[in-house]
Amino acid sequence: MSIEVQPFGNLSTGEAASLFTLTNKNGLSAKITNYGGILVALSVPDRDGKFADIVLGKDSLDDYASGHPYFGAITGRVAGRISGAQFTLEGKTYPLAANNGPNCLHGGLKGYDQLVWAAETINDHGVNKLRLSITDPDGSNGFPGTVECTVTYALLDDNTLEIAYTASTDKTTPLNLTNHSYFNLKGSGEGDILGHEVQIFADSVASIDANSTLLGRREPVVDGFNDYRDPVVLGSRDLNGNNADIHFFLENARTKLPQVAAIVHEPTSGRTVEVFTTEPGVQFYAGLFLSADAPEIGKDGVIHGAMTGFCLETQDYADSVNCPEMGGAILRPDEPFSSTTLYRFSAK
């Protein structure tokens, strides 16, 4: 696998960002910027060998810095919603920014998606990989503890995009990391995703209220509504927050080696993505609110309407710090964190 680097521009702070292009022996390519660890583009072939970029994104660094719905970004320190925008840990209460109704979403006002990560190319057992790293200081966005975090991207020769995470801390703190890519297997800008066939290997979901606040409960999936254990054509269902913006608990919980979490197939192109992860859950989001407040302009000026991309965000239960019986999204000084997620592509 080769990795090439080029300038991607400068932020208003003067910080420079780079764009890295990872290419495997089959011609697949992934473009990643160290601003937010964003997966900017991912080019994979259809059944006829025709390549297309299948992730939603922006044209430039300025476009990303101006705000976006977490297109392709690493989200943290806590991906997902912390209910009530506060938590109590080891006897101390920590208030957070309520940036999503009453909740703190994706780490607060300046999460990992807005940071410039240090970048280096490493060779891991003969495979070139892009390793990004940050030091997130104690008190950042209201969270305790200084966190050292790395995210490593690789585009393997079996057409797998590998994302590996590590983290350590000097104080106990909530931690829940994921990549927030929006996929459209027909190609970015090629319309809605309602013809995609989705399969998620989960037998229960997290309960939420009308504000998508996590309620600290899990419920069994319901046949014909949010049960995706057998493949479901998205357009065959009435999609809402309880079946298309919801946390699924995977049947095998956290594992040492990546387990299959989901499979999505798009019949017109033949493209399929299989998602494997060591995480115990996955947030499925069908892009219900794209362009909800204003037109969401993507690459090449395309306007992304509702349900033009889907996310499969591998993660733990976001509100574990308030509901420890629901998950383990807590990082402790004596328990370093590591996790791996694989997106494997094929066409038939």
> Catalytic amino acids?
180, 313
Residue 317 three-state SS: coil
Q: What is the rounded distance in angstroms from the CA atom of residue 84 to the CA atom of residue 274?
A: 34
Residue 286 three-state SS: coil
Question: Which residues are paired to 346 by β-bridges?
Answer: 272
Residues 6+ apart with CB under 8 A from 262: 198, 199, 200, 201, 228, 274, 275, 282, 284, 312
Q: In Å, what is the CA distance from 221 to each residue of 39, 70, 177, 241?
A: 31, 27, 24, 14
Task: Judge contact between 141 and 108, C-beta under 8 A.
Answer: yes
C-alpha torsion sign, points 53, 300, 37, 19: positive
Q: Which among 9, 213, 10, 34 is positioned nearest to 112, based on CA atoms?
A: 34
